[in-house]
């Protein structure tokens, strides 16, 4: 093996230099291009942080206005994409639909790929703009309803809710949806982002890179824990059952969903922000079932883990599913919503990869047979 080291799952391996996202797992801090996630969630919009990620700086008013205008004008989907949605097999998943649409979009543009400065990824904002439209229409079609064209006067998040519901959301709900997109837009070298960079490193198109990233996110070890948090809350059923359920789960060495993180060894800062949104929505809707259950689950896990000398905290998925659910979003759209947000981060990483590209080509540790003699098929 020479000097090479082997790290299963590439744990601890630094695969590239990056200026996009800093995660301080020990202190539970997250920054996009040096700006704290708390500040961005409080004061920014999904469109503005998309600009920040793609252009490496916060926009001026006129830069934001022209970027926003371009992205909003890119929101409508053409009839071919609408037909893809209506004809999509019923048993197909929305993630497969998103991959198909991205591949279709790729075939509609001319690609000036192959090198960073000539790449047109930044100009093809319809990847970022249209995935939300596709997902909203997908939901309507399966409810037997028709396409609702996007509006240009709403934020990305509010417009998603509008297109899905067919009516304008309450401003607080629209703002919370938009902020949830901010919180999920970027998170360093996770599996889907790494996938996007690996594909981009071959000088494939940004569309193919993003389609591959959607495929990586589809896997249950990456997206989807927020869905399972709600399944867990359903299984527990009531506040009275929380402690006994957690004790049994721990005795059986089962993982409590939405708890723990490979990188964060403190409370995930996104969880802290989303918890506030859950409080707001629970109060506005007069429905605190999820909030009460999750609060008690968190306290119980905390208590039991401390007794075992372990420090485990909620991650972003712990509260996000409950927020989406109160926004009227079905559970199987939670991971696709992650994709409609993370596409900004993926695109940013593709651009960064191309700036100083070298194709990814790790080695494997060969453990198979050697020196075999070939036996003709008739003699086997
Ligand atoms: C996120 C996750 C995969 C991180 O895994 P990891 O970094 O490999 O952490 P480990 O599995 O090594 O956990 C360390 C210890 O904490 C325990 N632990 C970790 N997460 C736990 C959880 N959710 N519930 C109960 N115990 C947990 C492990 O059993 C392990 O205990 P041990 O040292 O006695 O074996 C893991 O915490 C998990 O499965 N969480 C639930 C699923 C989830 O919420 N995923 C979304 C992540 S954003």
pLDDT, averaged in runs of 10, over the chain (380 residues): 81 94 96 98 98 97 96 95 95 95 84 56 81 97 96 98 97 98 97 96 91 94 91 97 96 92 92 98 97 97 90 93 98 96 96 93 95 97
Which helix or strand (DSSP H or E) is residue 35 part of?
strand 35-36
Domain 15-220+337-355 falls under CATH 3.10.110.10: no
What DSSP state is assigned to residue 286? T
User: What is the reported pLDDT for 222?
Assistant: 87
Q: Which are the contacts of 278, defined by CB distance < 8 A and separation ≥ 6?
A: 290, 291, 294, 319, 322, 323, 326
Using CA positions, which residue lies closest to atom 20 of ligand 1?
260
DSSP helix/strand/coil, 154: coil
Query: Where exactly are the structural domains of the chain?
Result: 15-220+337-355, 225-326
Q: Where are the alpha helices (DSSP H) in 185-311?
A: 191-201, 206-218, 225-236, 242-251, 269-285, 289-307
| Dihedral sign (CA 117, 195, 80, 330) | negative
Residues within 6 Å of ligand 1 by CB: 225, 255-262, 310, 312, 315-317
Ligand 1 atom nearest 261 alpha carbon: 1
Q: Are 297 and 246 in contact (CB under 8 A)?
A: yes
Report the DSSP beta bridge partners of residue 24: 29
How many angstroms separate the alpha carbon of residue 338 from the centre of ligand 1? 21
Condensed to tens digits (0 to 9), the pLDDT of residues 70-91 reads 999 999 999 999 999 999 999 9
How many angstroms separate the alpha carbon of residue 259 from the centre of ligand 1? 7
Using CA positions, which residue lies closest to atom 6 of ligand 1?
262
How many angstroms separate the alpha carbon of residue 334 from the centre of ligand 1? 21
Q: Which are the contacts of 373, defined by CB distance < 8 A and separation ≥ 6?
A: none
- CATH superfamily, region 225-326: Cytochrome P450-Terp, domain 2 (1.10.230.10)
Global pTM reads 0.94
Ligand 1 atom nearest 249 alpha carbon: 25
User: What is the reported pLDDT for 113?
Assistant: 54
Cα 134-82-122 angle, rounded to 5 deg? 50
């Amino acid at each position: 093996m020479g000097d090479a080291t082997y790290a299963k799952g590439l744990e601890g391996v630094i695969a590239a230099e990056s200026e996009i996202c800093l995660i301080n797992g020990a202190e539970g801090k997250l920054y996009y291009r040096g700006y704290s996630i708390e500040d961005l969630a409080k004061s920014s919009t999904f469109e503005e942080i998309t600009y920040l990620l793609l252009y490496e700086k916060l926009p001026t008013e006129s830069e934001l206005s022209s970027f926003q205008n371009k992205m909003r004008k890119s929101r409508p989907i053409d009839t071919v994409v609408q037909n893809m949605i209506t004809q999509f097999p019923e048993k197909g998943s929305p993630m497969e639909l998103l991959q198909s649409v991205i591949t279709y979009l790729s075939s509609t543009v001319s690609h000036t790929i192959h090198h960073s400065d000539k790449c047109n990824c930044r100009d093809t904002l319809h990847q970022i703009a249209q995935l939300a439209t596709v997902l909203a229409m997908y939901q309507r079609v399966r409810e037997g309803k028709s396409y609702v064209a996007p509006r240009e006067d709403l934020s990305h998040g509010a417009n998603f809710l509008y297109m899905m519901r067919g009516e304008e959301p309450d401003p607080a709900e629209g703002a919370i949806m938009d902020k949830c997109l901010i919180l999920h837009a970027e998170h360093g070298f996770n599996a889907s982002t790494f996938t996007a960079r690996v594909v981009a490193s071959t000088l494939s198109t940004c569309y193919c890179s993003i389609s591959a990233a959607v495929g990586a996110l589809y896997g249950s070890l990456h997206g989807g824990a927020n869905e399972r948090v709600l399944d867990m809350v359903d299984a527990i059923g009531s506040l009275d059952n929380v402690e006994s359920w957690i004790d049994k789960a721990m005795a059986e060495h089962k993982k409590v969903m939405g708890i723990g993180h490979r990188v964060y060894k403190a409370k995930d800062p996104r969880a802290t922000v989303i918890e506030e949104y859950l409080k707001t929505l629970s109060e506005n809707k007069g429905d605190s079932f999820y909030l009460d259950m999750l609060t008690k689950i968190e306290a119980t896990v905390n208590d039991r883990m401390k007794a075992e000398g372990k420090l485990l905290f909620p991650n972003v998925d712990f509260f996000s599913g409950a927020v989406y659910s109160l926004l009227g979003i079905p559970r199987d759209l939670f991971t696709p919503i992650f994709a409609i947000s993370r596409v900004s981060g993926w695109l940013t990483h593709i651009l960064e990869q191309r700036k100083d590209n070298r194709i990814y080509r790790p080695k494997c540790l060969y453990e198979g047979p050697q020196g075999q003699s070939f036996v003709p098929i008739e003699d086997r």
